[in-house]
């Protein structure tokens, strides 16, 4: 080892082993690195993440046993230190001291992207406040993976995280979410899944939904149905082991009444061709164009018959 004048720490050579090849890991610039890790399949890790994890001075993680499976898989020997909700108040100053000493600290969660439903945001906030560089290394996310496979709208979504465990508080929170015009995403535990789905069905109605379990793992499962049907399935004993994400469709747009569509069509037909009238009303109401076209032809026929 040799002295590193820039950081005042000892420079050291570390290697990691993706695909069985021994590769030297350069020492990252001092700062806090928020590193996304796999949500299940250990192959879902970026090359940049491996390089930073191997080259950092320390890896702060929720559970050293979980993170060690990843580091062992890729031949990474960087020391691990626990940082989780139960020890964060005690561990945070120690990590900030490392940053102050010019070290590179990598922060990971047990699975997925740090700061999502874990205490990492407090460390990132304190690091920025102290003037340290904070960098994100994007990668796996259970939220985005669930949105990808749920088969529901993805243009807008609202991530709620875990609903309250007690039914009264859970129902109150669901009521507050009901009007959000976006797909809703929740984390949930297996033992509470059936009860949470029942409350979601009561509070949100028969919306389409998906329960995504063990994503990227060997026993990955995605169940798609209405909320009430999913609630029944899990109340009757469907498998609930593993990591679970619930995805719920946004509220439906209020449908335009048939009489209102007729009025809009008649107004449009008085001005433009059938084709243009159908296009105009379909855009205004959101109804399928084929249905609007069928009704337009019926109205034209009724007017023609009435004129005979």
What is the spatial distance between Cα 53 and Cα 69, in angstroms, rounded to a whole number? 13
Q: Is 156 exposed, middle or buried (0-12, 13-18, 19+ CB in 10 A)?
A: exposed
Name the pLDDT band for 306 (thresholds 50, 70, 90): low
Give mean pLDDT, residues 230-246: 96
Checking if the pLDDT of 7 tops 80, the result is no
**Residues 178, 179, 181: CA angle, nearest 5 degrees:** 115
- Whether the per-residue pLDDT at 173 is higher than 90: the answer is yes
SS (H, E, C) the chain: CEEECCCCEEECCEEECHHHCCEEECCCCCEEEEECECCCCCCCCCHHHHHHHHHCCEEEECCHHHHHHHHHHCCCCCCEEECCCCCHHHHHHHHHHHHHCCCEEEECCCCECCCCCCCHHHHHHHHHHCCCCEEEECCCCHHHHHHHHHCCCCCCEEEEEECCCCHHHHHHHHHHHCCCCCEEEEEECHHHHHHHHHHHHHHHCCCEEEEEECCCCCCCEEEEEEHHHHHHHHHCCCCCCCCEEEEECCCCCCCCCHHHHHHHHHHHHCCCCHHHHHHHHHHHHCCCHHHHHHHHHHHHHHHHHHCC
Q: Residue 20 corresponds to which tokens in the numbers above?
A: 């069985």
pLDDT digit string (tens) for 104-134? 999 999 999 998 777 789 999 999 999 999 9
Report, as an integer, the average pLDDT of 188-204: 96
Task: Express each pLDDT in 135-147 by its tens digit.
Answer: 999 999 999 999 9
Q: How far apart are CA 120 and CA 114, in angstroms?
A: 6
By CB atoms closer than 10 A (0-12, 13-18, 19+), residue 277 is: buried
Cβ proximity of 231 and 202 under 8 Å: no
Q: How far is CA 150 from CA 154, 159, 212, 215, 217, in A?
A: 9, 14, 7, 11, 16
Residue 236 sits at φ, ψ, to 5 deg, of: -90, 5
* The predicted structure's pLDDT at residue 5: 40
Say if pTM beats, i.e. exceeds, 0.85: no
- Between residues 19 and 251, the one the model is more confident about: 251
How does residue 12 score in pLDDT terms, banded at 50, 70 and 90? low
User: Token digits for 13?
Assistant: 């050579």
């Amino acid at each position: 080892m040799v002295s590193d004048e820039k950081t005042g720490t000892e420079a050291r050579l570390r290697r990691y082993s993706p695909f069985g090849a021994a590769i030297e890991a350069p020492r990252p610039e001092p700062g806090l690195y928020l590193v996304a890790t796999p949500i299940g399949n250990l192959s879902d890790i970026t090359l940049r993440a491996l390089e930073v994890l191997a080259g950092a001075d320390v890896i702060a993680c929720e559970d050293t046993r979980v993170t060690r499976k990843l580091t062992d898989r890729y031949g990474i020997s960087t020391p691990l230190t626990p940082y989780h909700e139960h020890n964060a108040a005690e561990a945070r100053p120690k990590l900030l001291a490392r940053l102050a000493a010019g070290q590179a600290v990598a922060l990971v969660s047990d699975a997925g992207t740090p700061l999502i439903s874990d205490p990492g945001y407090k460390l990132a906030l304190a690091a920025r406040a102290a003037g340290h560089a904070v960098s994100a290394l994007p990668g796996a996310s259970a939220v985005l993976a669930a949105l990808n496979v749920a088969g529901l709208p993805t243009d807008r979504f609202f991530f709620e995280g875990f609903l309250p465990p007690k039914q009264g508080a859970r129902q109150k929170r669901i009521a507050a979410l009901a009007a959000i015009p976006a797909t809703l995403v929740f984390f949930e535990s297996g033992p509470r899944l059936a009860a949470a789905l029942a409350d979601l069905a009561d509070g949100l109605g028969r919306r389409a939904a998906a329960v995504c379990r063990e994503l990227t793992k060997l026993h990955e499962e995605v169940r798609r149905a209405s909320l009430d049907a999913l609630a029944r399935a899990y109340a009757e004993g469907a498998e609930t082991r593993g990591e679970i994400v619930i995805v719920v469709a946004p509220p439906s747009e209020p449908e335009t009444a048939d009489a209102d569509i007729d009025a809009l069509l008649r107004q449009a037909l008085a001005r433009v061709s059938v084709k243009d009238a159908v296009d105009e009303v379909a855009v205004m109401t959101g109804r399928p164009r084929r249905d609007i076209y069928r009704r337009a032809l019926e109205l034209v026929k009724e007017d023609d018959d009435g004129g005979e």
